[in-house]
Structure 1
Amino acid sequence: MIIEPMTQRDAELTNEQPLWQTSWTSEFLSDERFQRYAARVGDELIALGAYEILENALVVHIVYLEAQPESNPTLDEGQPKYTGIGRLMVAYGIKLSIDNGLAGDVVLEAKTTALAKHYERDFGAVRLPMFQSSAPRYLIADEAAKRIFFAYLV
């Protein structure tokens, strides 16, 4: 498995069959502030992640993560082709945080109640105070970040 910068072709694949949950050619995900990465097993694209380095906040903001349709529980109710993709992409955000001198801290939003519970239970994420009507925001730091990081990116 490799993770490398996302290409325009990777983004275009999200608009082809089988369709991904989100078009990665969208204006939002094309924002130049975001670093976008693709995870592959061989030639197969299995996940995409968009990250924002927030040096003033001393964290990496995980803007959006998505697994390929066959492994995305939102799109495929059968047995996923790959598991642990979200955790892998969070680990990559932690790596970006370390590489940028930000101590491995990351923040991300839970887009569903199920994801919020998953982040707390399985990732050791801590909920941050809400601002306006935003989705619940979580911090993964310290020991929780180390456990995730060392599970994937030794």
Structure 2
Amino acid sequence: MKNYQYLTSGILESYLLGLVSEDEKQEVERLAATDPEIQAQLQELELDIERHFLENAVPPPPALKYTILEQINKTEIKKWGTEKDDQSKQKDSDKSSDKPNYIDVEVDDTHIRVHKYWRPAFIAVFVLSKIFLILGLYYYFKSSSLEQEINRLKATTEQAAPTLPKQTQ
């Protein structure tokens, strides 16, 4: 019963995603080493998460490959253990500690890509808003015409009926 609660608590998923504390991490590793059911569940979850990430992976922009290859071609290949190499490593480490080294990526694509379900959802919301607008205007004008009709009927009944004297008790 304890294993079932442990398996359904979500801690294994958090462990695989790296969201647990150090104590919880050690506990999961200890239980996985002793309990084959937990170890099998961990392997199954790991495969599911990996499959999910691979299915939903976003490919990098095509220009990125060109930029990376261009940077690789510009860098010099140095022999290990030379004095100049050691000095350049020190200079590079000083530079890298001051300012992070980022690669600027420019996308040549001018179109914004959105999920394929956003378009029909937007169209449905647009159509529904127009329907509600038309219904709102219809009922507004209908109620105003009914108010005018009520006022007209009140006026005709007041004219047609003579005023009755008030009865005293």
User: Normalised by the size of structure 1, how large is the TM-score?
Assistant: 0.21
Larger radius of gyration: 2
User: Normalised by the size of structure 2, how large is the TM-score?
Assistant: 0.19
- Structure with the higher fraction of residues in helix conformation: 2
Higher relative contact order at CA 8 Å, sep ≥6: structure 1 or structure 2? 1
